[in-house]
Amino acid sequence: TGPDTVSPTGQPTGAEQARMAQSGSHLTNAQGTRLYDTDHSLKAGPRGPVLLQDHHLREKVMHFDHERIPERVVHARGAGAHGVFRSYGTAADVTKAAFLAEDVETPVFVRFSTVLGSRGSSDTVRDTRGFATKFYTSEGVFDLVGNNIPVFFIQDAIKFPDVIHAGKPHPDREIPQAQSAHDTFWDFVTLHTEATHHTLWNMSDRGIPRSYRTMEGFGVHTFRLVDAEGRTTLVKFHWKPKLGVHSLVWEEAQIINGVDPDFHRRDLADAIEAGAYPEWEFGIQTFPDTPDQTFEGIDLLDPTNIVPEELAPVQPIGLLTLNRNPSNFFAETEQVAFHVGHLVPGIDITDDPLLAGRLFSYLDTQITRLGGPNFPQLPINRPHAPVNDMLRDGMHQTAVHRGTAPYRPNSLDGGCPFTPGASADSASLDGAYVETPVRVPEATKVREAPESFDDHFSQPRRFWLSMSPPEREHIIGAYTFELAKCYEQAIRERALQVLANVDPELCAGVAAGLGLPAPEPTVPLADVEPSPALSQIGHTWPTD
């Protein structure tokens, strides 16, 4: 698939290996011409002016001037690792995805991240963590682009620019760098109350993980699995750390921020180097694919909802082991490009409106960040399955494609497996990604959310009720600290109103900390059962 620097077996040739290693007996310029000195500019005499004709100086500085690429618009700070995913085969009855068949091993690359801080920010801030996994499967790349929190701030991707504008530093002073303690964040999450659940998780111990190795991961959205017979099952994806779920306490996080801002990435790299390979079990919650796509009254298309594990247990389907550190941060951790639309046969999407926007956004953003449409050719992004696309040319194209007819079907290049006039014959469906023929109900075009998206408080209430006493104390402390940093009193008061609608004890604790009266709820308090699995103390994983 690649340029002539790749041998027929796909390995780089000797000359290409030397170029990548930047090794050899003598230094050259980018064109391979040998240099004798790279420490002195060409001058008119040792103390004279530097000459514009110094082409080596010009090339060296020009390249340096362009070393930086834009950081990710979100999740800019991250740490990555290579590993392997071994399937248990237990999902084979619900999906035909080959990498989930029994005893199959698939290479993976995982990138963990914070969301709001810039590339150089600290690791132990209070924030959501990204948990993105690239599976290089035999049927193409599958990306699971998830977080360590199972719900999201918004229900519709059209609000994503807004929630991120609110969460990033204020545009006038560029502060605060990476904390949620600011007016725009609290303004947004109290005006858009669907954010209450995610915010509560952020204010809990989950917002300050002890290590990437002790975080859960979640696919967040409901996906659709498809088996070999075309039968479908709705599913939520989970990563369960073998080391258990652990967090820092706030004071530890603050001290570590100062003492070692690289705490999480150092911990990950050191553990792998020491052979203490971090492991996660991959699990699924499954739900019948009913026309209304709800389970026990929970709307599965609303990404602010979880399904309690007591109602739908997480079934283990495989093991992820991270066992190799990147050798080049830029080439691997920085250039890796995840996309929720990188799917393989057997895994399909649902109509979650947040997921729909993501399907557009991830591809789009790479054009700015990685300089054009050819980012799948970057080594870290290359599929391990054979590629035979008809995509040609473009910025940063490195392949020298062959053939004269880059379209299908054609009758010129010798590859014409199709019946003229038909887009594909039935044989070509074998192993192909075929969209599930889901019936779209007759509908009128509207810009509105379904009524089932209106309940913003019962799931946060379940989370609060599931917490142990120390976890509750930490949550009250976190809200108090963060809200105390707001300049606007009206925002603090609105936040208290939101908390009153979740739970009076939570609201009273934060109100006392802020020295403000606790308001009465404006909605009836939801009658929900706690879910012990939500508490880090009540956490019952791993099972073995």
Q: How far is C-alpha 237 from the geometric centre of its chain's CA atoms?
A: 13
**307 Ramachandran zone, left/alpha/beta (phi>0; psi -120 to 50):** beta
> Parallel, antiparallel, or unpaired: how do β-strands 315-324 and 232-241 relate?
unpaired
What residues between 516 and 535 interact with ligand HEM by CB under 6 A? none
Q: Which of residues 50-89 bind ligand HEM (CB under 6 A)?
A: 72-75, 78
Q: What is the DSSP letter of 139?
A: T
Half-sphere exposure of 446 (CA within 13 A, CB side): 6
Rounded to the nearest whole angstrom, what is the least distance from the CB of residue 378 to ligand HEM in the complex?
Answer: 12
The answer to whether 146 contacts ligand HEM (rule: CB under 6 A) is: yes
φ/ψ (deg, to 5) at 464: -60, -45
| Identity of the residue, 74 or 486, whose beta carbon is nearer to ligand HEM in the bound complex | 74
Q: Which of residues 166-225 bind ligand HEM (CB under 6 A)?
A: 220-221
Q: Which one of residues 81, 94, 104, 132 is an interface residue with ligand HEM (CB under 6 A)?
A: 132
Please work out, in degrees rounded to the nearest 5, the angle formed at the alpha carbon of residue 504 by the alpha carbons of 500 and 508: 90
CA–CA dist 239, 541 (Å, integer): 11
Distances in whole angstroms, Cα of residue 543 to Cα of each of 241, 242, 425: 11, 9, 47
- The SS3 of residue 296 is coil
| CA–CA distance, 346 with 431 (Å, rounded to integer) | 10
Site size toward ligand HEM, by CB under 6 A: 28
For 360, other C-beta atoms within 10 Å of its C-beta total: 12
Among 94, 116, 157, 322, binds ligand HEM (CB under 6 A): 157
Minimum Å distance from CB 320 to ligand HEM?
Answer: 15
Bond before 308 cis per omega within 30 degrees: no
Minimum distance of ligand HEM from residue 457's CB (angstroms): 20
Strand partners, 108: 83, 135
Q: Which of 40, 55, 56, 147 is an active site residue?
A: 147
CB of 386 to ligand HEM, least distance (A): 25
Q: Known catalytic residue: 75?
A: yes
In whole angstroms, the minimum distance from the beta carbon of 128 to ligand HEM comes to 8
Subset of 360-399 contacting ligand HEM (CB under 6 A) = 361-362, 365, 369
Candidates 281-289, 359-367, 471-479, 481-489; binding stretch for ligand HEM (CB under 6 A): 359-367
Selecting among 26, 29, 66, 75, the annotated active-site residue is 75
| Distance of closest approach, residue 40 Cβ to ligand HEM, in angstroms | 40
- The answer to whether 130 contacts ligand HEM (rule: CB under 6 A) is yes
Among 82, 96, 111, 462, binds ligand HEM (CB under 6 A): 111
Output the six-digit token pair for 500: 């009153």
Give the nearer residue to ligand HEM in terms of CB position, either 88 or 153.
153
Cβ 133 to ligand HEM shortest distance, Å:
9
**Of 145 and 502, CB closest to ligand HEM:** 145
Residue 358 engages ligand HEM in binding (rule: CB under 6 A): yes
| 198 a catalytic residue | no
Those residues whose C-beta lies under 8 Å from the C-beta of residue 1, and which sit 6 or more positions away, are 10, 382, 386, 387, 399
- From candidates 261, 278, 357, 509, binder to ligand HEM by CB under 6 A: 357
Which candidate, 282, 473, 440, places its Cα nearest to that of 350? 440
CB-CB contact of 536 with 245 (8 Å): yes
**DSSP strand E in 327-404: where?**
347-348
Q: How far is the CB of 360 from ligand HEM (least distance, A)?
A: 7
412 in helix, strand or coil?
Answer: coil
CA dihedral 121, 123, 126, 129 (to 10 degrees): 110
Piece of the chain touching ligand HEM by CB under 6 A; list 201-209, 352-360, 405-413, 426-434: 352-360
As a whole number of angstroms, the distance between CA 142 and CA 349 comes to 12
Identify whether the C-beta of residue 182 lies closer than 8 Å to the C-beta of residue 485: yes
Structure tokens at 436: 């599930």
Site string for ligand HEM, 444-483 (x = CB under 6 A): ----------------------------------------
Binding region for ligand HEM (CB under 6 A) out of 188-196, 267-275, 351-359, 410-418? 351-359
Ranked by CB distance to ligand HEM, the top (closest) residue is 130
Name the site residues for ligand HEM (rule: CB under 6 A): 72-75, 78, 111, 113, 130, 132, 145-147, 152, 157, 160, 220-221, 303, 336-338, 354, 357-358, 361-362, 365, 369
Residues carrying an active site annotation:
75, 147
